[in-house]
Amino acid sequence: MKVATGRVVDGKVVLEGERLREGSVVTVVISDEPAGFDTTPEEESALLEAIAQAERGQVVSWDRLRAHLRRSA
């Protein structure tokens, strides 16, 4: 998993400095703020660690998470 920033140019998302493989599946989060978002150093560190965990395959499946949430409700 990667996090990339870009802009819409002529109706297409153009990423800044990031090249993706043809056919890559992406998720686009549209910000209401013109400059994106700010994080604290702690939040940025936690986000980068979460991305690294996902890249290592240290994830929880949707089925397992859903079952846990149902037990907690």
CB atoms within 10 A of CB 53: 12
> How far lies 51's CA from each of 10, 65, 71, in Å?
30, 18, 27
- Return the domain boundaries, the chain: 6-72
The H or E element containing residue 9 is strand 6-9
Confidence bin at 6 (pLDDT 50/70/90): confident
Confidence bin at 68 (pLDDT 50/70/90): very high
Confidence bin at 17 (pLDDT 50/70/90): confident
DSSP assignment letter at 57: T
Is 36 a residue whose pLDDT tops 70? Answer: no
Is 29 a residue whose pLDDT tops 90? Answer: no
What's the whole-model pTM score? 0.42
User: What's the pLDDT score for residue 30?
Assistant: 77
